[in-house]
Chain A
Amino acid sequence: MAGGNLQTGRNYFILRGETISGQTVDIRPIKLTNALSARTWTMVSATVFNQNFRLGSIHPDNASLIQQFGSVEKLPLGARMPELLTTWGNLYNGQFPPSSPARLKAIRVDMYRWSSGRYADYDTFVESWRKEL
């Protein structure tokens, strides 16, 4: 493992949900898919940057999507993020009764950037992927 470099900027992600009652809540995916212990952050990053479209053997549905857009480079970032968000949203809502105001009406992953150079400005907003449930 290489050490950190203060001059290198870094992206990171926060999973959030919007409840039926209108609140925005932070959601920790480890509580939804605990099999991915210590791996969730790289899975989200790989999904955002479409690493699942850059394999030797691509899933047929992903190959169709590439064909639709023309090339991997033309795909929008997080091309498969809606499916991942839907899964997490459904797993989260499954913890509550159907009438609960704590259930989510939408779920999103927000991307932030810690710009380089100093120990401050950790949360420059970059982009968000949102899915209505």
Chain B
Amino acid sequence: MSRLFSGSALSLGIVRTVVLGTFLIAALATSFTALGELPVTILRPTGVMRLFPWSFYERLLTPAGMYSLKTALLLSLLLGTFGILTSVSTKCSLLLVVFYQGLVRSFGHYNHDEMLAVYYLAILAFTPCGDAFSFDHWLRLKKSEQPSFAYGFPVFLMQVLMGWVYFTSALVKLRVARMQYLSPDSFPVLAIFHSLDNLHDTSFRLAFWLPQIRGVLPFVVGLVLVWELLFPIAIFWRRSRWWILGFGIMFHIATMLFMNIFFPYQLAMYLVFVDWDRVAAWLRRS
């Protein structure tokens, strides 16, 4: 068990770069000013976003307001990704990302792709993730002097969270739809519905082919459910990791091709399962 919790400052530092870097790349590629053009009257503030008055949203949802938010977000994520003033920049990044995610959810729905990465940000904000693989470390502002547990446990927690996400996803499907979820029409109907409009991020039309193979689809859906239920094994049995994560990559690519639903953040977070110390040792040897 102690092997599960042991880790190095280097591996936690790399995970910090992966998580914050994912949000940084996404923010760089996003037009905040276009978002600021949307009418505030279609906004439906959700959760704690209801605490902000409408006058605040009137000021924020302007090209200038959104440009300011983007600038703050980019600066904070950039510092966090490169490990500069890490303990402050990771906390600022967490606050700004949570706020931004709340804002986009107030236009649409509670999409869960980014949620796991947001939880990872929260973990990183309160752990010594800048002790290595950071400018703080190279400038001798931080040292890797914590016990191995302090670096290993956060990564273990992230892996547990991912296992929990998939495991409970299977449970929710079975609780909500029961055995109906395994009916031959369950998957094709859902996939076709998500392929009819032009409002999704992609417009693949493979879903319309599914009714032709509806007889085998209960087995495919059942296999996915089994994979989700077994996902936590990847945390404890390293050899199974590449099979389980490999299946996950295929699963998420398939949901994009058949349902026009893609989970890029979730896929990027698979990198918490990489043994970064072993990768670093291999790179040093080669």
Contacts and interface: CB of A to CB of B under 8 A. Distances in A.
B177 A3 contact: yes
A122 B111 contact: no
Given A3-B187, A4-B193, A43-B107, A35 B34 contact: yes
Contacts of B186: 3-5
Interface in B182-200: 183, 185-193, 196-200
Task: State the main secondary structure of chain A at its contact with B.
Answer: mixed
Contacts of A10: 193, 196
B50 A56 contact: yes
Interface of B: 29-32, 34-35, 37-45, 50, 54, 104-105, 107-109, 111, 113, 169, 172-173, 176-177, 180-181, 183, 185-193, 196-201, 203, 208, 211, 221, 261-262
Nearest to A28: B198
B41 A42 contact: no
Interface of A: 1-6, 8, 10, 12-15, 26-30, 32-44, 46-47, 51-52, 55-57, 59-62, 80, 83-84, 87, 90-91, 112, 114, 119, 122-123
B39 A28 contact: no
A116 B35 CA distance: 35
A42 to B, nearest CB: 4
A109 to B, nearest CB: 9
Contact of B41 (A46, A62, A91): A62
